[in-house]
């Protein structure tokens, strides 16, 4: 379950991409690049709603689109999902698997923790208490 934008947990920072070429490839909508629509669409049964991730990071606002289509495209869940996946691909191309892996691990940890807490609530279990740090004794 993906949190809504309004109740989203704190996500790790999005790693920066420095290459202008890579950024243009990521944020240029297919309407300007004349790319096939089918190459970027998710299966109708895809369980991973990538569009919410793009919105949480504001990636959809950075899309470069035809002016006449700006509102429609930037509000489209398909376009939002495409730009999130394109960003991950661009990050991989520019900085490699190690950077992508580190970021995705911290990114997914947020969702794993949220899912764990939801399951505990559904089963009427108390929230997990984080132990307070213990002060060092002066006797040692």
Of 117 and 136, more confident: 117
Where are the domains positioned within the chain? 20-96
pLDDT in tens, 85-123: 999 999 999 999 999 999 999 998 988 888 898 899 989
CA distance 54 to 24: 16
pTM assigned to the model? 0.67
Provide DSSP, 19-58: -HHHHHHHHB-HHHHT--SGGGPPPTT-S--HHHHHHHHT
């Amino acid at each position: 379950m993906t949190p809504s934008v309004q109740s989203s947990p704190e996500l790790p920072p999005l790693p920066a991409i420095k290459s202008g070429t890579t950024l243009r490839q990521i944020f240029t909508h297919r309407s300007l690049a004349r790319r096939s629509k089918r190459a970027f669409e998710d299966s109708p049964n895809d369980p991973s709603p990538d569009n919410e991730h793009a919105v949480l990071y504001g990636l959809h606002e950075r899309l470069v689109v035809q002016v006449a289509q700006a509102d429609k495209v930037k509000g489209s869940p398909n376009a939002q999902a495409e730009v999130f996946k394109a960003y991950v691909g661009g990050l991989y191309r520019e900085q490699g698997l190690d950077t992508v892996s580190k970021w995705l691990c911290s990114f997914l940890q947020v969702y794993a923790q949220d899912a764990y807490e939801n399951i505990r609530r559904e089963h009427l279990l108390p929230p997990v208490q984080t132990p307070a740090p213990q002060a060092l004794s002066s006797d040692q």
